């Protein structure tokens, strides 16, 4: 059976997912929904037999879709998920779940009531290095973790606006928070400080923080700091370092470095994490077996809570405790 998949959005990541999907056996991208008919038609024309729609209702009314990918910015969520939940259509939604704190909880309750298959684009979990890190950490004692996402602020219309993107910690560094949760443990306390003023001077449209440092307590007794900045023009880096009684484990985009007293060993990712993520989701749709999905909506919601708590702590100066 060929799976028919719809895509919402026509931006950078819609393009990445749609082309990856169209290369999978037994999968067809058949419908594209965008904020304008012209954008939808233009994007749809790059696939055989795909049709463009200017709104999701028309797309869903037009014919049966087995799954939908939601690839819209953080502010453009809620309506799409709601329509898919009502029609029992499984979806993969890109991180973060929202720029708002409350919306994902309302959606999660409806998803759980229907036991709908969902997946969230936390692709770091599907890296070979994440598997290797899990294996190495299994018999090591972790004391602390140090995460970072140091880079520049993407341009465009929404990323630099706090109310549209949620800011860097919610939009981007969320990957590192999620990796910390996946490899080390659940977060119970969050304290954050942010700095601002540099980006806003360069770009009068920008109102996101320049940098942040977030201190985290985990339920297993370990501690972490995750810092980020979006104002550096050079020296980009991101990753998670885990400090244990065996040494230091450095996990980055490309792989992992394991530093112990005996040796320093590097592992390079071989597989494409986005493809692994897609295959896990497609397998779940075909078989009902969700065990290969590493981040579903419920799990991603916990990551969302941590990043939202960081924003709240930075604005109130208080420590935020999570249940």
Binding-site ranges for ligand NAD (CB under 6 A): 8-14, 34-35, 71-74, 76, 94-95, 121, 123, 156, 171
- Closest residue to ligand NAD, judged by C-beta, is 11
Task: Between 248 and 274, name the residue whose CB sits nearer to ligand NAD.
Answer: 274
- Would you call 301 exposed, middle or buried from its count of C-beta atoms within 10 A (0-12, 13-18, 19+)? middle
Minimum distance between the CB of residue 271 and ligand NAD, rounded to whole angstroms?
15
Phi, psi of 282 (to 5 degrees): -65, -40
Minimum distance between the CB of residue 295 and ligand NAD, rounded to whole angstroms?
10
Task: Give the helix ranges, DSSP H, for the chain.
Answer: 12-22, 37-44, 56-62, 79-86, 103-114, 128-137, 162-165, 168-171, 174-183, 198-202, 273-287, 297-316
Strand partners, 226: 147, 214
Distances (CA, A) of 123 to 208, 253, 286: 24, 10, 21
Minimum distance between the CB of residue 276 and ligand NAD, rounded to whole angstroms?
13
Residue 119 DSSP SS3: strand
Task: Between 205 and 264, name the residue whose CB sits nearer to ligand NAD.
Answer: 205
Task: Between 72 and 222, name the residue whose CB sits nearer to ligand NAD.
Answer: 72
Minimum distance between the CB of residue 140 and ligand NAD, rounded to whole angstroms?
28
Task: Between 121 and 147, name the residue whose CB sits nearer to ligand NAD.
Answer: 121
Task: Between 90 and 96, name the residue whose CB sits nearer to ligand NAD.
Answer: 96
Minimum distance between the CB of residue 55 and ligand NAD, rounded to whole angstroms?
8
- Are 171 and 153 in contact by the 8 Å Cβ rule? The answer is no
């Amino acid at each position: 059976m060929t799976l028919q998949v719809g895509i919402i959005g026509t931006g950078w990541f819609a393009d990445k997912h749609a082309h990856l999907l169209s290369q999978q056996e037994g999968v067809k991208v058949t419908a594209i929904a965008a904020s304008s008919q012209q954008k939808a038609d233009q994007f749809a024309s790059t696939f055989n037999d795909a049709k463009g729609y200017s709104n999701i209702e028309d797309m869903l009314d037009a014919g049966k879709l087995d799954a939908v990918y939601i690839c819209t910015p953080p502010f453009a969520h809620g309506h799409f998920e709601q329509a898919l939940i009502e029609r029992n259509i499984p979806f993969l939604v890109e991180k973060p779940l929202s720029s708002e704190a409350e919306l994902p909880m309302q959606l999660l309750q409806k998803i759980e009531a229907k036991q709908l298959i969902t997946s969230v684009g936390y692709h770091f979990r599907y890296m070979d290095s994440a598997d290797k890190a899990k294996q190495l950490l299994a018999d090591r004692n972790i004391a602390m973790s140090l995460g970072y996402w140091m880079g520049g602020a993407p341009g465009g219309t929404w990323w630099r606006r706090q109310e549209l993107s949620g800011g860097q910690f919610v939009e981007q560094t969320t990957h590192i928070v999620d990796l910390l949760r996946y490899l080390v443990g659940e977060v119970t306390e969050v304290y954050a400080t942010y700095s601002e003023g540099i980006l806003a001077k360069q770009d009068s449209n920008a109102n996101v923080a320049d940098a942040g440092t977030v201190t985290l307590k985990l339920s297993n007794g370990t501690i972490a700091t995750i810092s980020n900045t979006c104002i550096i023009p050079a020296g980009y880096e991101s990753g998670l370092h885990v400090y244990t009684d065996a040494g230091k484990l450095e996990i980055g985009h490309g792989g992992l470095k394991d530093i112990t007293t005996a040796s320093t060993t590097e592992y390079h990712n071989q597989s494409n994490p986005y493809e692994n993520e897609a295959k896990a989701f497609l397998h779940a749709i075909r078989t009902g077996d969700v065990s290969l999905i590493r981040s579903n909506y419920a799990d991603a919601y916990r990551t969302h809570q941590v990043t939202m708590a960081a924003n709240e702590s930075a604005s109130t100066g208080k420590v935020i405790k999570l249940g």
